[in-house]
Structure 1
Amino acid sequence: MAAALLTTGGTTAVTAAEACGSIITAPPAPPVPADDPCPSTDPVVCRIRVLPMDEKVEAQRTRIRYHYLLEAMHRTEADMREAGASDEEIARELLANCPELNALTGHVRSLAHMLTERQDERLPQWLDAVLQGDLPSLHTLAAGIDRDRDAVIAA
């Protein structure tokens, strides 16, 4: 997401709100049937509305945290751009001040190194580290890799 906020020429390509859709602020409504047409144009809202209530509440919290994070990143990027910082300086600052982005980068680099160096014996430790972290999107990836572990190792 940091890359989507970085542009050249001193202008920002998208605002934080445009980058991830609307913020859900109303109390979660009861789940609706999956085949019920979604009135929103936001695909994330359409996915959230069919979740069970406990998952819906957690999805709402995560989405709000995400919006706050994007707003903070956007402010940092704008302030640094105004001060004449380069894209690389801005990216480094955003990475340094976002534990989630920093953790994601570390996990992705570790996985890439493990795969390119064919160190499949490290895969169980990588999966454990990812699943213990607070990055739900990586949890999904880790679960898929774990499910197809033999195919991943063979590749």
Structure 2
Amino acid sequence: MASMAAKMILGDKINSVKGAAMTGELGNLTDKPTEEELEQAQLIEEARQEQESERKAKHDKMEAEREKERQRIRDKYGLKKKEEIEKEKAEEAASLAASQSAGRISRDKKSPAEMQAAMEDEDESIVDTVMSYLQPIRDKLGI
């Protein structure tokens, strides 16, 4: 009973597909495209490329208009671009660092690498100092 219902529902659709395949409505089922299909594919590709270039040109034009409007608003309200603000902050930081180091009484802070090198030098100097104190004692004891 279920198979009969399924056959009734799907039967017409399956037969229409079979009929289309028999009459050639589904197109050429061979692997080799014809010259006409190749020319049509080439025309389609050229049309796509042309549409893409037109879209890009339209987008560039719209972006130029937007930038023009943005600049007009910046000029009207005295605003600056983000790049200009970042450049000014960098210049201020550099001038601030230069002015701070010029008026400092103490020296600049050392980087971690400089601190490590100083510690190694200090360790060597401590060993040398201790050895210089021990040398006269060794000489007296004859060691």
Query: Which category of TM-score, normalised to the shorter sequence, fits these structures?
Result: under 0.3
Name which structure has the greater RCO, CA cutoff 8 Å, separation 6+: 1
TM-score, normalised by the number of residues in structure 2? 0.24
User: 1 or 2, which has the higher helix percentage?
Assistant: 2
TM-score, normalised by the number of residues in structure 1? 0.23
Point out the structure with max Rg over C-alpha: 2
